[in-house]
Homo-oligomer: A and B are copies of this chain.
Amino acid sequence: MKRIHVGIIGMGTIGTGVAKILLEANSPLREKLDTVPVLMGIADCNPDAKNKIALPPAVTFTTDANTLLHDPNIHIIVELVGGATIAKEIVIKALENGKDVVTANKMLLALHGSELFRKARQHGKSISFEASVGGGIPIIAELRDGLIANKIECILGIVNGTTNYILTRMTKENVEYGATLKEAQTLGYAEKDPTMDVEGIDSAHKLAILARIGFGVDVNCENIYCEGISKVELSDIWYAHELGYTLKLLAIAKKRESGLELRVHPTLLPHEHPLSSVNGVFNAICIKGSAVGDSMIYGRGAGEMPTASAVVADIVDVALGRANITFNTMKIFSGQCERVSIADMKEIKTRYYLRFSVIDRPGVLAKISGILGNHEISIASVIQRQAKEKGHVPLILMTHIAEEGNLLNALSEIKQLDVVKDQTRFLRVEE
């Protein structure tokens, strides 16, 4: 039996899960493979991390990552430190010392993917990152290998479990955003500072990785349009439901004639869309390919063991020698991908859900729909309620497909009307 030696740097939730699988006496890996990865060392700056699981004497524990990075007896470094600073140093040092790298770090790859891939190629080593998107879902392998015969046309993903949990609770239990967030924090589904998740930044990082694999491009994350869920109101979820739509935070990548649409925002999906029934902490990614048509992959997007499942799959891929082949033959890993031009949001075309707060007076609908019409936006359906909020009534319009630039112009004109109060809310739709 061939042994491949593994060192884990970062013994947080995922690191602990990975160690559990590698150390398991009845490991599925032993059942399935002749070549088995062997855990040799764990590094974590917190000395107490040692006690998270019972380590056999053969496994070194150290608070100094360099001990593993310089150990010539370790072949694979598993970087689970997170963030984009120390993690980057660790990955570079590992590659320079002739080790393959496995990581779950989406931020690192989203921000420094090309640089790190060039470095890995230069040293004849590989970087594997299945766990960086979709937790236990093998989406990277599917997009990279399973759908290799396809030109990817579109990727739609629910790739953040925290926000999907919050939106699901808001939808099913009628609880306001603030209260649901607190509950998610208590349950450990949201961080104390939830910004990265709720403002869509984590989803944008994952979208940058998916775009790289799917479209072979380098992405400047800062240019991805990113709108989170912190401003979502219950009433929009209700009205959308009445119109036949479910609200989800989507990461969207679409091929255009030149460049890509890349955007993260709350999105209305028809109830029958496969993503609209993805609830709670689950993730799912829909991919449209030129040959395969529509496909979807679904599973747990976070958590100790699901994410560890993906990390260990990568470790095996490296141990068997496949990761190295993939990494060194696919152009997407050359580090030479062109930086993609991301379409301006004004150019995107979609249907829109609009919620106006208006004074209940004859002719209001005519005025608003007139302005929309002047900007080439036609209306597909209307909900108007007598129920007043603060003396105003909500007016909900669903448009046909329109250009966002036109919509923004129309909305700024409508804002000037004396019958329109408060901020007008709009949501984009995917069919």
Footprint of B on A, CB under 8 Å? Answer: 17, 21, 28-29, 31-35, 130, 136-138, 141-142, 145-151, 216, 272, 274, 277, 289-300, 303, 305-306, 308-310, 312-313, 316-317, 320-322, 325-326, 329-332
The residues of B that contact A292 with a CB separation of less than 8 Å are 136, 299-300, 305-306, 309-310
Can you identify 20 A-B contacts, CB atoms within 8 angstroms?
A: A29-B148, A33-B330, A34-B329, A130-B146, A136-B295, A145-B313, A148-B316, A150-B309, A274-B298, A289-B309, A291-B305, A291-B309, A292-B300, A292-B305, A292-B310, A294-B300, A295-B298, A295-B299, A297-B297, A321-B325
Known A294-B300, A322-B326, A332-B32; contact A309-B149, beta-carbon cutoff 8 A: yes
The CA of A146 and the CA of B331, in the complex, are separated in Å by: 22
A295 CB contacts on chain B under 8 angstroms: 136-137, 297-300
Q: Which residues of B contact A289 (CB under 8 A)?
A: 136, 309
Question: A313: which of B35, B130, B149 is its contact (CB, 8 Å)?
Answer: B149
Count copies of this chain in the complex: 2
Do A146 and B141 have beta carbons less than 8 Å apart?
yes
* Residues on B with beta carbons closer than 8 Å to the beta carbon of A306: 291-293
Residues of B within 8 A of A141 (CB): 138, 141-142, 145-146
User: A29 touching B149 by the CB < 8 A rule?
Assistant: yes
Q: Contacts A216-B32, A296-B297 given: A320-B329 contact, CB under 8 Å?
A: yes
B28–A293 CB distance below 8 A: no
* Other contacts beyond A21-B291, A34-B329, A130-B146: 4, CB < 8 A: A32-B332, A136-B289, A149-B313, A296-B299
Known contacts being A148-B312, A293-B305, A313-B148, is A329 close to B35, with CB within 8 Å?
Answer: yes
A33-B147 CB under 8 A given contacts A136-B295, A309-B291: no
B contact residues around A300 at 8 Å (CB)? 292-295
Assess A331 versus B33: contact at CB under 8 Å? Given A148-B28, A305-B293, A309-B292.
yes
- Least Cβ distance of A16 to chain B in Å? 12
Note all chain B residues with C-beta closer than 8 A to A31: 151, 216, 331
A320 and B147 CA atoms in complex are apart in Å by: 15
Query: Which residues of B lie under 8 Å from residue A145 when comparing CB positions?
Result: 138, 141, 313, 316-317
| Complexed CA–CA distance, A32 and B216 (Å) | 8
Residue contact B146 to A293, C-beta cutoff 8 Å? no
